[in-house]
Amino acid sequence: MYTLDILLSFASIYFAFFLRWDWDIPGDQYEIFIALLPFVLFCRSLSYFYFGFYSRFWEYSSIEDLVQIIKSVVFGSFLILFSTFIYNRAWMVPRSIIVIDLILLVMSLGGTRMLWRILREELRQFSQPKIEHHIDALIFGAGDTGAHLLKHLKQFFPNYSVIGFIDDDLKMRKTNLMGVQVLGAGSDIPRIAKEYEVKELLIAEQDISSEKLAELIDICTKNGIKYKITTSVIDLSTNKISISKIKNIEITDLLERDMVSLDLSSISMMLKGKRVLVTGAGGSIGSQLCKHILEHSPASLIMVDIGENYLFDLKMDLGSQGKDTKTKYVFGSVTNESKMESVFAEFRPQLVFHAAAHKHVPLMEENVDVAITNNVYGTKLTADLSEKYGTEKFVLVSTDKVVRPKSIMGMTKKLSEDYIQFLSGESKTQFMIVRFGNVLGSNGSVVILFEKQIANGGPVTVTHPEMERFFMVIPEAVQLILQAGAIGAGSDVFLLDMGKPVKITDLANKMIRLSGYEPGADIEIKFTGIRPGEKLAEELINSGEKAIPTKHKKIQLLRSENTPGKDFGMRIETLCLNAPKVDPVELKGMLQELVSINSSKQNQVNVCR
């Protein structure tokens, strides 16, 4: 290659002289050319080696390599001019010769390398074995990723014949990319596939939305077209197209409804300059709640969590956010009376958001004592301290599993709600409750489980084909908590309009397809049976509760027609004291009895009315 470059350098300066003098070089100029030639070739050699010409694989030459050629030639031309000026001014030639030489040399060096690459590719294709299984394909995305994919297919996958590109950008219509035409938009795929007998759609758009991806997958499924989703175009370990999900699934696209966005204009007024305490601060909802609270400049934010790693991660995540807010990270349990007493005594929070809870249904079925201690006693202690230290507002984060509860988790959260309503009767503290459905994307949620199972190749496990749940996303949950604090008064229960319940099987199918696979064919769905404490369907409103519209059309206010009896506080105290002492079977019976007594009292009130 070096010999060729020197020959091209000689030819370039030679023709530059000829062109400058109109093919008739004067005698004195010819003498200068002869004297200057060794010097020119020496300067060119220096520049070629300096710019690493001979450490490159020119068969894979690109635009970046052309830029290096231009830099090298310009540098060499500068060396020639500078050196002749210093060494022997008699060798100075017209600047037009240097310019012509520069242009000719860039064209010849770049041209030979491009020719070398083309010849190599043609030779590679010529030497490929005869293709038996030919695949006619379309590429969705006529951008950089699509171009990269097309180039890779031509080099390493000769069995693929790319019929055309598909792109929704109208400006791209009927244009050509690397010799392949953009045939239409996503909606044209059925027609184009039928016309050209296309077998596969290769999706190669870097920033494709999950909504668009789901639409393309649906089109392919209905029209019998295989689809492949490319993340990185080349898998260096196998030299194959990487077939995987192009991006993390957007949680909002699993809702099957528009995400609720609330008016948060009243939030700043509630939070600004206030002392705020959040329990369960390291959890999925608690951590996001802390971030949103800091945006509204409270005077102080006290974050309590029993999980050391969760609390540390939260501290690292928040970093310098909320510079005007005093932050305190408290490592401890909401069931630790002395710890919580000291926190309230020192910081005297004006607003308390109680998100600490054990929420995993099957796990709580096997640990009744812990469920009662954390969910019931933890709520009772935090609420009692809030009342004792004059907290203005207390918001309890609850769950739809409190409605006709079957599980230990649901029953403990039901008693938590009842205790908050029990306290709210004569207290100066405004006690409120926010009732959630399942939160998509939270720690331990079904979405996280499904993502791991899909990544491992399946199977995806679902307990029952008819299992369904109400769903919301973390931003909705956080907004609802803050909104409840802003507009709520004593004993209010707030509920978000979560649309229709979603079948878990449908959710699994959708996640599998959004990940680039076909349910059943690529990833199996396995039904494992209903677990202890689970119900096929959840409800949102208990008997004895009445739904009242609020100024926010997506939020309902639930008012209970009665409150727990005067002895309820004593009964809760007894249950919590017995939790670590009593046999689990007996303790479960005590829990069920207390829930049943309170529910029957509510039902009796309804019957009388």
User: In terms of DSSP H, where are the helices of 372-519?
Assistant: 378-388, 408-424, 446-455, 474-487, 504-514
Residues 47 and 171 in one domain: no
* Count of structural domains within the chain: 3
Helix 408-424 and helix 568-578: axis angle, to 10°? 140
Q: Half-sphere exposure (CA, 13 Å, Cβ side) for 228? A: 18
Check residue 475 and give its pLDDT.
81
Q: Is residue 448 part of a domain?
A: no
pLDDT tens for each residue of 9-64:
888 888 888 787 777 777 777 777 777 788 788 888 888 888 777 665 555 556 67
Rounded to the nearest angstrom, the gap between the alpha carbon of residue 425 and the centroid of all alpha carbons in its chain is 44
Same domain, 238 and 303: no
In a domain, 457, yes or no: no
- Distance from C-alpha of 472 to C-alpha of 251, rounded to nearest angstrom: 10
The CA distance from 410 to 533, in Å, is 9
Share of the chain above pLDDT 90, in %: 29
3-state SS, one letter per residue, for 144-199? HHHHHHHHHHHHHCCCEEEEEEECCCHHHCCCEECCEEEEECHHHHHHHHHHHCCC
Q: Are residues 216 and 290 in the same domain?
A: no
Q: Is residue 566 part of a domain?
A: yes
Cis upstream peptide for 405 (omega within 30°): no
Q: Is the dihedral of CA 434, 438, 439, 445 positive or negative?
A: positive
Residue pLDDT, tens place only, 176-212: 888 888 999 999 999 999 999 898 898 888 777 767 8
Q: Which of 97, 127, 157 is the last residue of a domain?
A: 127
User: DSSP 3-state assignment of 546?
Assistant: strand
pLDDT attached to residue 351: 95
Q: In this structure, are 43 and 71 located in the same domain?
A: yes
Least Cα distance to 217 among 513, 579, 445 occurs for 513
Q: Is 401 a catalytic residue?
A: yes
Q: Output the pLDDT for position 128.
A: 56
The pLDDT of residue 247: 43
112 shares its domain with 163: no
> What is the rounded average pLDDT of the residues 435-441?
79
Asked whether residue 117 falls in the same domain as residue 225, the answer is no
Catalytic residue among 401, 413, 554, 588: 401
Taking each helix axis from N to C end, the angle separating 284-294 and 474-487, rounded to the nearest 10 degrees, works out to 60
Does residue 145 or residue 322 have the better pLDDT? 145
For the segment 137-145, the average pLDDT, to the nearest whole number, is: 88
Q: Comparing 29-38, 172-181, 276-285, 312-321, which segment has the lowest mean pLDDT? A: 29-38
341 contacts 556 by C-beta, under 8 angstroms: no
Amino acid at 143: G
pLDDT tens by residue, 553-605: 778 888 776 667 788 889 999 999 989 989 999 999 999 988 887 665 544 43
pLDDT of residue 606: 35
| Six token digits for residue 410 | 């649901």
Q: What is the mean pLDDT of the chain?
A: 82
Q: Radius of gyration of the chain from Cα atoms? A: 36
| Strand ranges of the sheet holding 326-331, from the earlier edge strand across to the other edge | 326-331, 300-305, 275-279, 351-354, 393-399, 430-436, 492-496, 555-560, 545-549
C-beta of residue 609 within 8 angstroms of C-beta of residue 561:
yes
Q: Model's pTM, two decimal places?
A: 0.64
For residue 282, the number of C-alpha atoms closer than 13 Å in the C-beta half-sphere is: 19
User: Domain for residue 509, yes or no?
Assistant: no
Please state the separation of Cα 346 from the chain's center in Å: 39
CA distance linking residue 422 with residue 561, whole number of Å: 13
The HSE-up count of residue 521 (CA atoms within 13 Å, CB side) is: 7
Give the model confidence (pLDDT) of 367-400 as tens digits: 999 999 999 999 999 999 999 999 999 999 998 8
Domain membership flag for residue 327: yes
The CATH number of the domain where 404 resides is what?
A: 3.40.50.720
The verdict on 31 and 81 lying in the same domain is yes
The confidence score (pLDDT) of residue 232 equals 47
Residue 484 CA to residue 393 CA, distance in Å, equals 10
Angle at CA of residue 100, ends 98 and 104, nearest 5°? 115
Give the pLDDT confidence score for residue 249 in this predicted structure. 55
**Same domain? 330 vs 383:** yes
Q: Which residues of 370-402 are buried (b: 16+ CB within 10 A; e: fewer)?
A: bbbbbbbbbbbbbbbbbbebebbbbbbbbbbbb
Q: Which helix (H) or strand (E) holds 292?
A: helix 284-294
- Please check whether residue 182 lies inside any domain of the structure: yes
If phi > 0 it is left, if psi is from -120 to 50 it is alpha, else beta; for residue 240 that is beta
Q: Are residues 433 and 582 in the same domain?
A: yes
360 and 423 both lie in a single domain = yes
What is the per-residue pLDDT across 234-267, written as a single tens digit (0 to 9) for each? 443 344 444 444 344 555 556 555 666 666 677 8
How far from chain centre, in Å, is Cα 175?
33
Residue 201 placed within a domain: yes
From residue 353, alpha-carbon distances to 175, 406, 485, 571 in Å are 57, 26, 9, 25
Domain boundary among 127, 156, 188: 127
Shared-domain flag, residues 240 and 386: no
pLDDT category at 607 given cuts 50, 70, 90 is very low
Instruction: Note the pLDDT of residue 274.
Output: 94
Check: CB of residue 229 under 8 Å from CB of residue 243.
Answer: yes
Residue 317 lies in domain: 270-439+471-499+543-608
**Do 222 and 120 share a structural domain?**
no
Residue 340 lies in a domain: yes
